Amino acid sequence: MKIGYARCSTSIQDHALQLDALKKAGCEKVFTETASGSNAGRFELAKVLELARTGDTIVVWRLDRLARSLRHLIDISEDLQRRGIALRSLTENIDTSSASGRFMFAILGALGQMEREIIVERTRAGLEASRARGRVGGRPPALDEAKVRAARAMLAAGTMSAIEVAKQVGCAPSTLYRHLPGGRGAVVVEQGLAAAA
């Protein structure tokens, strides 16, 4: 069975051109959708992918009607290939039921892989360059050493609760406990051991 999928980005656009092409291509069922290509929640596309069975062909007017990015297109095509479902694009004249169509998708897959590797390399190079300049990524620590010492002293004094101490040093109680595991009890024991030594 040939299943057609037509998508327009806005309600102002018309599906007519795509629908005519899909009917001419022999699609028995056609699903239409009005949604942005960047929108992950496309319900009609989900129905198409769920309905399609081994031996079926999903037909689109153009590949950009189906997927929101090259990576998304490759993911969809790999899923369809695993399930024995062909993908046909009328405008680009690609049909994965043929050897040349599968070859074209293999090239797209290789380009997608190369794109991912280039992004990883650039990110790694950027992080290394930042480290070389003395910059470290991530959020700054909530508690520096001076605040940890102050919190330790307040807990040892026993006049404030851990929640109040956390508020005084400007952090969450969980952050305080991460820096001072065991809370007041651990601080008191630590100070007792230090005094005995």
Catalytic pick from 9, 38, 89, 100? 9
Q: Which residues, at least 6 apart from 11, have a Cβ–Cβ distance to it below 8 Å? A: 34
Instruction: Count Cα atoms within 13 angstroms, Cβ side, for 89.
Output: 17
State which H helix or E strand residue 132 sits in.
helix 99-132
Structure tokens at 193: 């051991």
Residue 2 in tokens: 């040939």
- Kind plus residue range of the DSSP H or E element containing 191: helix 183-196
E-strand spans in 11-55? 29-34
Answer yes or no: are the C-beta atoms of 7 and 35 closer than 8 Å.
Answer: yes
Residue 9 annotated among the catalytic residues of the structure: yes
From residue 183, give the alpha-carbon distance in Å to each of 8, 95, 97.
Answer: 59, 65, 66
Which amino acids are annotated catalytic? Answer: 9
